[in-house]
Amino acid sequence: MDSKVAKLINEQVNKEFYSAYLYLDFANYYAQAGLDGFENWYKVQAQEEMDHAMLFYQYLHNNGEKVTLEAIAKPDIELNDNLAPLKAGLEHEKYVTSLINDIYDAAFAVKDFRTMQMLDWFVKEQGEEEKNAEDMITKFELFGSDPKGLYMLNSELASRVHSAPSLVL
């Protein structure tokens, strides 16, 4: 595996764990706000991000590369209202999309087709992640200021369950 591609994927392992940490911070905010459905949604999101980290981890190992785990930074986003985590989540997903695109670009440059094929799943996943984040913002802006609407949205988010990805590396 090309050293630059391996380095970027190794960095992505850490960034995915940071994403999980960030989403746990969002879940914690919503738990304190009494919005257990929003809390659940972000706890499930955190589990997904840990799954993504482990997919990159396993991919490196499957290709004979060493994984170096780094410290996970403390989230530094100020959450001062119920919409703030949703907007921060969308911005974070856009950032993660840019990171996946950078890895894809590096793999393309060295004709690492196996890595590009693996990344295809993540490219699609990031499209879904951004769409989900946008939909959450839209729903909150439409219904979040009405107590009954917020209750229903919170109830909808409470039904989300974790399902592990089925990507074969």
- The whole-number pLDDT of residue 168 equals 65
Q: Determine how many CB atoms are found less than 10 A away from the CB of residue 147.
A: 9
Task: Tell me which DSSP letter residue 146 carries.
Answer: S
Distance of CA 7 to CAs 15, 33, 67, 109, 154, Å? 12, 39, 9, 15, 40
- The whole-number pLDDT of residue 81 equals 96
Q: Average pLDDT for consecutive 10-residue bins of the chain (169 residues)?
A: 97 98 98 98 97 97 96 94 98 98 98 98 96 97 95 95 77
Topology adopted by domain 3-158: Ferritin (1.20.1260)
The residues, any chain, with a CB within 8 Å of residue 115's CB and separated by 6 or more, are: 1, 5, 9, 59, 103, 107
The structural domains of the chain, with segments of one domain joined by +, span 3-158
- The whole-number pLDDT of residue 3 equals 97
Q: Which among 155, 166, 148, 164 is positioned nearest to 40, based on CA atoms? A: 155
pTM comes to 0.94
